[in-house]
Every structure is written in structure tokens, then in C-alpha cells.
Amino acid sequence: MIRTARISDAKAIHQLLLGYSQQGQLLGRSLVDIYDALRDFHVYEEDGEILGVGALQICWQDLAEIRSLAVKPGLSGRGIGRKIVEACLDEARELGLQRAFALTYQPVFFNRLGFSEIEKSELPHKIWTDCIHCVKFPDCDEIALAINL
């Protein structure tokens, strides 16, 4: 089931993201940062275990980012990531946002959900605040994709 994150999920979210950040697949987030942004997170839970996570971060009056998307290793292809992204996009629509984007190494996944590749230069400078903490900055090799809502 997909639901919004709870305080009790923070450590599980952190552990799930940590594995992918150590592999350089996504930007790491400290436990403090996860508590700070907990309301942004959606989790996929099955039998009391968090199997997937993703966040919707509002960037501007009409724009949000889908970020920190991760599924427990070995569970790809079960639709968990898709359900999390759809929940984030539904929330973005409810909030009245007009567009969402993602920075990713998995563009095909996002293409299947209706996202199209864009130039990173189309994104507002505000989003680069997080990027300066990435070990790959300024040579980011992630692909930017966006969807109109």
C-alpha cells in the first residue's frame, strides 16, 4: 500500500536511500534531512516493511521535483516505483502544481510514466542548492525529465 510517511518510517527511509547513495545512484540524505522533509515522502509498505520510497518536493509556485525514489533491491519490476511516482504526481495535481521533474539515471522508467527529457538549464537555479552537496557536482551526469500536469 502507498501512504504518506510517518515518523516511525524515517530510519527505514534513510537505510533504503543510503544503499543507493553509496552506489552513486541518488543524492544521499542524512537522517536529520529525512526528518526535516518527512512530509514530502510517500512509502510503499507491505506486511509492515517499507519496500519503496519517494518524495515530492515543491520547488516553486508551479513546479515540484520527484526525488529520493528508491525500491528495495531485488524488487524492481513489481510496479512499486511507478505507484510511488503516481502518488507524488497525484499530490502535485491536488496542490495545483503545473509541472514536475526528476533528475535520474533511469530515464526509460520516467518516460513510461509520461515524462520527457529536458535540458537541465530549463530548471530554476533554486534546485541546484542540493546539487552542490553532491560528489558529482558540477559534472552531473543525471538526466533531467519533466511532465506537465
End-to-end CA distance of the chain: 24
Average pLDDT over residues 55-62: 92
pLDDT higher than 60, residue 142: yes
pLDDT value, residue 45: 97
Average pLDDT over residues 133-138: 55
Query: Can you give the residue ranges of every domain in the chain?
Result: 2-148
CA–CA distance from 103 to each of 10, 46, 72 (Å)?
A: 23, 27, 19
pLDDT value, residue 32: 96
pLDDT value, residue 84: 98
pLDDT value, residue 48: 93
By mean pLDDT, which of 37-46, 66-75, 89-98, 128-137 is the weakest?
128-137
* pLDDT grade for 148, boundaries at 50, 70 and 90: very high
Domain 2-148 in CATH 3.40.630.30: yes
Q: Do residues 108 and 118 touch, judged by C-beta distance below 8 A?
A: no
pLDDT value, residue 27: 80
Tens-place pLDDT, residues 82-128? 999 999 999 999 999 999 999 998 999 999 999 999 988 788 765 55
